[in-house]
Amino acid sequence: MEERHKRVLQSNRSNLVRDLDPSKLYDGLLEKGVFTQDMIDEIQSSGTRRDQARQLVRDLETRGSRAFPLFLQCLTETGQHSLAEILQSGAPSVHLQPVAPTQVVRPAVQPLPLLPEESMRSRPQGRVRRDSIQSYKMDASPCGHCLIINNVEFEPECELNNRSGSNIDCDKLERRFKALNFTVEVKTNLKQRQIKHALSALSKKDHSQCDCCVVIMLSHGTEVSHNRFPGAVYGVDGQHVPVQHITNYLNGQHCPSLQGKPKLFFIQACGGGERDTGFEVSPDEAPPSIRGEDDQTDAIPMSSSSDSLSMSDEPDARATLPTPSDILVSYSTFPGYVSWRDTQSGSWYVETLDRILEENAPTDDLVTMLMMVNNEVSQNSAKGLYKQMPGSFNFLRKLLYFQSQT
């Protein structure tokens, strides 16, 4: 497919996923040689109508130069005129009439020409089609296990402040991942040893019927030496667990039933003790959102701090994986910096993540949504001064789309 046509599809992906009725298109796309029967079978087995629409659009981009105009023709023939007009307006040189009618009437004899790279790639008969960039299977019910460790009240001798507002974060994420069809388990106020035990128990579960696994850590954090993933999170006893160890519990060696499946780690914790004051931007940049007096951080209290802001969790250490595939670690803040939490509404990161997942999970992949989170959180400002920048260490091999509620 020509690059300009790919851009039209990509820029209208949300509209297509929301409004397209793939079931009306299958016969026409098969007759015109755009897809083979095996490809259509795979699209139909991808899940809900939205899932099928998303898969159809992605697969369409891998087909021949005539795939786009024939797709527009099928939309018109099946009464999906508004979508056809939207796509046509973005590609004015495309005509809905078949380029070679004789080819359309005899698809079995003269199928649609494939892209050069597609025609060079042999496809074993009956084998499920997978492109180099493809999406993870995410249609199991339940989709997988989600473990949330929420450390709020810390032992006095460890000199870590209690994390007011963390229960708000925990409640939001529990509801959100239940809505995404995960089995959610919440554990509160765990010591270091108990954190390790909970992760070990999760790794020993049978995940063979699941498609994904999620671990969410809500606690104080600190910087530790690392090879891949920075930081560590604290137990309520003041002893920390490196993120490196946290991810290792679910790697292919320690949890064989999760091999090849996405393992997601969300860390609401400080990446260190430094406070980011940001830098000046041009006037046309979006104005920052000024947060209130209730902003706190989850880092270790600093002796030089005299204001009412407390620091959030520090960065977590990375997992020493021989092959860290199918792992994504999302941090609430850039390594070395504090992460802000409002005692009334919860942390900036979790509040934004929850809303982005609610609004965009039906149409966007996880990495795209995390970029949205990064952008929105970066616009916030604690007391008009301090900033925060989330980020991720991404070792996923494919796109990840959560199950949509349609």
Catalytic residue numbers, as ranges:
220, 270
Question: What is the DSSP code string of 223-289?
Answer: ----SSS--EEE-TTS-EEEHHHHHHTTSTTT-GGGTTS-EEEEEES-S-SBPB------TTSPPPE
CA 250/CA 208 separation, integer angstroms: 13
Residue 391's DSSP bridge partners are: 331
* Cα three-residue angle 307-313-316, rounded to 5 degrees: 150
Say if residue 128 is exposed, middle or buried (CB neighbours under 10 Å; 0-12, 13-18, 19+).
Answer: exposed
In 3D space, the residue among 383, 229, 207 whose CA is nearest the CA of residue 308 turns out to be 383
Answer yes or no: are the C-beta atoms of 383 and 29 closer than 8 Å. no
CA 211/CA 213 separation, integer angstroms: 7
Coil, strand or helix at 78: coil
